[in-house]
């Protein structure tokens, strides 16, 4: 949890952490007040597993209760965890080019379980499909990438 030093007297960071811990009580936390050019705060949280990590976060803004900032981050982390996907929503769009390249080069379908398809991911799919002869599909939170030539062969059978 990081907040501007200007927010220390109102214990903003402590209140953000309280909001987070109201939902994920067992979390280990670290608070840091820093010099900034404008007042504000953010919280980044992560859950670490053997071989993977998922993350979430939330930004504070004027008029938004500090506790709500923490609650938003905790809820986002819980959603990613409950999805049972090995990645968080913010990693999905970054993996799309690699899935596309793997499928394009090998002709083998790529698949990955995802927690959700963000607007960033949808945009990245659109862009990747303009460069490579691949198509993406998401069904039941499984994102798959197939080569267009492979798809044509399947449809032609």
Residues taking part in catalysis: 120
Whole-angstrom CA distances from 121 to 8, 10, 22, 40, 76 are 37, 38, 31, 28, 17
Using alpha carbons, select from 40, 45, 97, 102 the residue that is nearest to residue 71: 45
The dihedral built from the CA positions of residue 121, 136, 54 and 70, taken in this order, carries a sign that is: positive
Rounded CA-CA distance 4/75 in Å is: 24
Q: In the 8-state DSSP scheme, what is residue 83?
A: T
């Amino acid at each position: 949890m990081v907040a501007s030093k200007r927010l220390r007297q109102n214990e903003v960071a402590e209140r953000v952490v309280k909001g987070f811990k109201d939902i994920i009580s067992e979390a280990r936390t670290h608070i840091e007040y820093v010099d900034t050019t404008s007042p504000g705060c953010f919280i980044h949280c992560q859950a670490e597993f053997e071989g993977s990590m998922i993350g979430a976060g939330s930004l504070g803004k004027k008029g938004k209760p500090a506790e709500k900032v923490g609650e938003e981050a905790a809820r986002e982390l819980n959603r990613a965890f409950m999805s049972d996907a090995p990645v968080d929503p913010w990693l999905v769009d970054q993996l799309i080019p690699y899935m596309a390249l793997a499928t394009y080069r090998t002709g083998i379908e790529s698949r990955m379980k995802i927690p959700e398809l963000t607007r960033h991911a949808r945009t990245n799919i659109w862009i990747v499909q303009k460069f490579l002869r691949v198509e993406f599909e998401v069904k039941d939170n499984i994102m798959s990438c197939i080569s267009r030539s492979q798809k044509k062969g399947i449809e032609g059978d």
